[in-house]
Every structure is written in structure tokens, then in C-alpha cells.
Amino acid sequence: MAEAGSGPDILVVLNNFRAPAGVLGECILARQGYYLSVAPGIGYSAAAPDEHHDLPDSDAGFDGLVVLGGPQDAGDDEGNPYFRRLMEVVREFHAADKPVMGVCLGGQLVARAFGARVYDQGAFDFGFGAVNLTEEGRRDPLFRDLDAELVLMQSHQDVFDVPEGGTLLARDGAGGVQGFRLGRATYAFQFHPEVTADIVREWARRRSDQLKAGDAKAFRRLEAQIRRHMHDANQTCRRLGERWLDLIGVSG
């Protein structure tokens, strides 16, 4: 368990150390009573199964679950043998009515955990793009009072469908799924609510060849997007993180 303060203990699954908790981690730390950035695992419990850090045996002792992104193919169980156990963990938290948030790869695994299709859309999306709330999304506890169109960070090639019984919350400009809720408090997002400018720039550096192949001006355009959109995106995503934390301990 984390060295928690008076707040909730959240299990944060890092699918890759280059995809950290960022803004979501800061929200959790603040709820714990920590107001400075500190090492992962202080204020919440971090598991990094890709680095041979075991997932817990059960949801006991935890109040919520965040599953972050990573470069893996969400359907590659052979290359990522912990995926099957991770999807079991998602279902266990959901069955216990404990809030779940899956981000990008994490969202894809949440979708898979409940039988939805995850597939390659045929192109790599990287940069800030429109996230359009549905009518149900505008009524959702996490998105209420937010603009109907948000501009948030995207970094993915795989996408997912909404599982049976799920509620579509948001689509992108092309109509692809950007978020759903299943039950009271299980969420999956294709966009990245956790990123900071530094995280985005690091991802861009690591994908430099891929970005340059698509557009020689990709880096300049990305910097312009960061200047234009990052502040508002961070404000929006902090609200999402805080409202998600508010769901802890509230019965359905």
C-alpha cells in the first residue's frame, strides 16, 4: 500500500514508465494532502507490471483504479502476459463499485475487459484534437458544466468501441469513440487527461521519426498547439480528475 495521508488509496497501473500519472497523479496527491510533486507511490499505490511489478491479488484495501497509457498493442496478450490479469483487476474494481479510469491503452483494456472491440484505426493520431461531448456526456458527473467541445491531447493508433451496456460520453471530430462510462463509475478515455507540456514533448521526441515522416513541420505545429491549448486542457482535466475522485465512497 502507499504511504497514504487521510485521503483515498488509489491503485495506479503504469503500463510504461514513460507514460506517468501527470495531472491525474497530482489530483490524487492533493486529495491525500500532498501539494508538491513527489515520487510515484507516495500518496497512491503504483504498479508497473511491464517492469515486473506485480499487480495486487484483489481490490481489497484500494478505493479506486487508474490504468494509464503505453506504447503496447492493447490486443497483444502474448507480448504482455499481464494484460489478462489486469483486465480481471478492472472487472473486480467495477464489481466492487469502486471508480475505475482507463486512459488510452488503459481505456482500450477497460473496453476489452467488458467485451468491446479494440482495433487499429489505420493512422497514428498525435496532437490536440476535438473531443465532442454527447448529450449523455454533458449530463455525466465528470463532464457537467464543461464546454460541449473540448480540445485535448491525443496519442494513439488503436481505438475502441463502447461495450454492451456502456454509455457513450464523447466522440472525436471523425465520430470515433473518445470516452464511455460503464455502470456508475467505470470510465474509459481515448484522450489523455494526464499529460503536461513536458510529457507531450518527451513523447514527441521519442516519436520524432514517425512525426517527421508525416509532416516536416510537425514539431512546430505541436509547440503552437501546446501554447494554445495546454493550459485550458490541464484545467479541464484537473476537474475531471477531482470529480472522479469525488465518486469514491458514493454508492450507486
Whether the Cβ atoms of residue 175 and residue 129 lie closer than 8 Å to each other? no
Active site residues per annotation = 104, 192, 194
| Closest C-alpha to 144, from 123, 168, 169 | 169
Please, are residues 186 and 110 in contact by the beta-carbon 8 Å criterion?
Answer: yes
Q: Where are the beta strands (DSSP E) in 134-208?
A: 149-160, 167-172, 177-182, 186-189
Q: Write the single-letter amino acid at 107.
A: G
The pair phi, psi for residue 182, each rounded to 5°, is: -120, 125
Distance CA 86, CA 84 (A): 5
Judged by phi (left if over 0) then psi (alpha if -120 to 50, else beta), residue 61 lies in: left
Contacts of 60 (CB under 8 A, 6+ apart): none
Q: What does the DSSP 8-state code read for residue 107?
A: H
- CA quadruple 32, 82, 68, 21: dihedral positive or negative? positive
